[in-house]
Every structure is written in structure tokens, then in C-alpha cells.
Amino acid sequence: MRRCHPVAPQKTLLYTGPNRCGARRNCARRGLCLPTVQHMRAGVFFERDGILNEVQIEHQHPVTPLTLSQFRIKENVRPLLQKLKQAGFVLIATTNQPGIARGYQSRRELDQMHALLRRVLPLDDIMVCPHDELDDCPCRKPRPGLLLEAAFKWHLDLERSFVVSDKWQDAEAARLAGCTSVLVRSPWIKGAHHDFLFSDLDSVVAKILQIHGGARVTVKKH
């Protein structure tokens, strides 16, 4: 069984706060200890295609860009992500890119697209599953592996974290990981479980900031 990794090597972030055993980094168990909940952060996970960048629609399905020349970041995304960053969220893009395993996607082109994404948007990380369905990868959405790996790396409290997407696979991954799913209306949601549904990303970000600010929300918007 394969394990997915971030699109490019990242500097490991060492947690230096109190662990659940009450000790700090000199704890003999520091490789096993997890940070206490009050020292964990909240994250927002974004599906890449359709949320952060434009996609082409062919035969009623979204088609991921395969080259840097095809890659277009949505114009309204940057200021919205900046609001979330200022609120203290860890911002992470997640994406299935099976073209790598299937041989029609260049890893070099993918890295170039993600380098551009990092330059333009205030993302902390980009998590990629490059495998095909037949690889049975635990990180391929709708499985929650990418969310779980990011939570371990960035010390995230998944119960206080959000998944933003226009696809059912991300909503299911959010459910399995214990995150709140906030979807943008699209033909690719199907009948997936979700916590909130909005017509645009502006409304999604406003709802996340409202919840993060302590507002009590009990009614879904459809």
C-alpha cells in the first residue's frame, strides 16, 4: 500500500509546546507524544481543481490542467485566503492527480503549477495523491489519508478544521476525518454528506470565519 507525500519536500516543523504527557521536547517519548488540543491549530483544506484554479468541462466532467500554460488561478481566491490566514488558519490544498501514475501527467509540470500556486496564494502546503484507483492508496480522496497526514505534520485539530470543495470525494474525506465540509454548489456533489452548501467561495469563507469566531450555527444553507 502506497503513501502519498507533499508535492515537494518540506522542512519538517518540530512541535515545541507541551505534549499530552506534560513534557516538552526533552521528553523521552517525544517521537510518540502529540500536542495537547489547546495547542493544536485549525486548518482549511481546499480542493485544488475548481476551487483554487479554473478547469475545463468536457463531457460534463471537470478536466484538470496538465501543463503550466493551461493552469489558471481564479482571480477572487487570493483575498479570500488572506482573510482565513489572518484569522490564524493553516491553509492546505489537496488534490488527486492520477495522471502521474497513468503516465499522461508530467511531474515536472505539476511541480511548476504548484510553485505558481504557492507564489500567488498564501498556502502553507499542497498535498498530492499521484496514484490511480487500482493502487488502493489510503490518501486518494474520498479516503481521508491526505487530511490525516496533514494533521500530523501541522498539528491540526481536525474537529475544528474545514474542507472546501465542489466535489463529493472531498466531502466524504471530511466526514471520515471528522472535519466540517463546506461545499460550493456544483454538478459533482451528488448525494454526498455535507455540513454546509453555498453558491460561491465568498459565502464559504464568510461562514468559516463566522464559525471560527464562535457563532452558533445549526441550520444548513442550500
How far apart, in whole angstroms, are the C-alpha atoms of residue 58 and residue 25? 52
- In this predicted structure, the answer to whether residue 213 has a pLDDT above a threshold of 90 is no
Residue 10: pLDDT over 60: no
- How far is residue 9's CA from residue 169's CA, in Å, rounded to a whole number? 26
SS3 123: coil
For the residues 107-130, what does the mean pLDDT come to? 97
SS3 128: strand
List the chain domain ranges. Answer: 41-212
Residue type, 26: N
pLDDT band at 190 (very low <50, low <70, confident <90, very high): confident
pLDDT in tens, 154-184: 999 999 999 999 999 999 999 999 999 999 9
Q: What would the pLDDT profile of 27-40 be if each residue is shown by its tens digit? A: 433 344 455 556 79
What is the assigned CATH class of domain 41-212? alpha beta
- In whole angstroms, what is the distance from residue 202 CA to residue 221 CA? 14
